[in-house]
């Protein structure tokens, strides 16, 4: 990996030294502060995993609700929101698979 010369102000250099850890170069500080493109992918995968968990929990809740109250599944969730419980279960079922595929997708090769 090559090197480059960069001119920065004294204030910027002092700020970089302020966040510099022991044994770390200024180049390491800059690389740590500005993460690469893989950081965004990892963040999307973590977020997708959390959303997948919530969708799976909602789906399991609707199944448990149906087993406990089989006659109430087609009732609306609340009187002011005309969404039926079965719609929520179906949407959570589909979303859980979509977000699971995003969360477990292998990282792209460079």
Q: Which long-range contacts (CB under 8 A, 24 or more apart) does 61-69 make?
A: 62/86, 62/88, 62/89, 62/92, 63/89
Per-domain boundaries in the chain: 1-34, 36-110
Distance (Å, rounded) from C-alpha 68 to C-alpha 91?
20
> Cβ distance 16 to 30 under 8 Å?
yes
For 60-91, write each residue's pLDDT tens digit: 888 888 788 777 666 666 666 677 777 778 88
Computed over every residue of the chain, the mean pLDDT equals 79
Question: What is the pTM for the complete model shown?
Answer: 0.53
């Amino acid at each position: 990996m090559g090197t480059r010369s960069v001119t920065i102000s004294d204030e910027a250099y002092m700020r970089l030294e302020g966040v510099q850890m022991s044994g770390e170069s200024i180049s390491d500080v800059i690389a740590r502060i500005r993460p690469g493109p893989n950081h965004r992918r990892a963040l999307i995968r973590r977020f997708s995993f959390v959303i997948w968990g919530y969708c799976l929990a909602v789906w399991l809740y609707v199944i448990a609700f149906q087993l406990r109250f089989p006659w109430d599944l087609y009732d609306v969730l609340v009187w002011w929101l005309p969404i039926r419980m079965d719609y929520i279960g179906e949407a959570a079922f589909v979303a859980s698979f979509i977000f699971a595929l995003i969360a477990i997708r292998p990282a792209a090769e460079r």
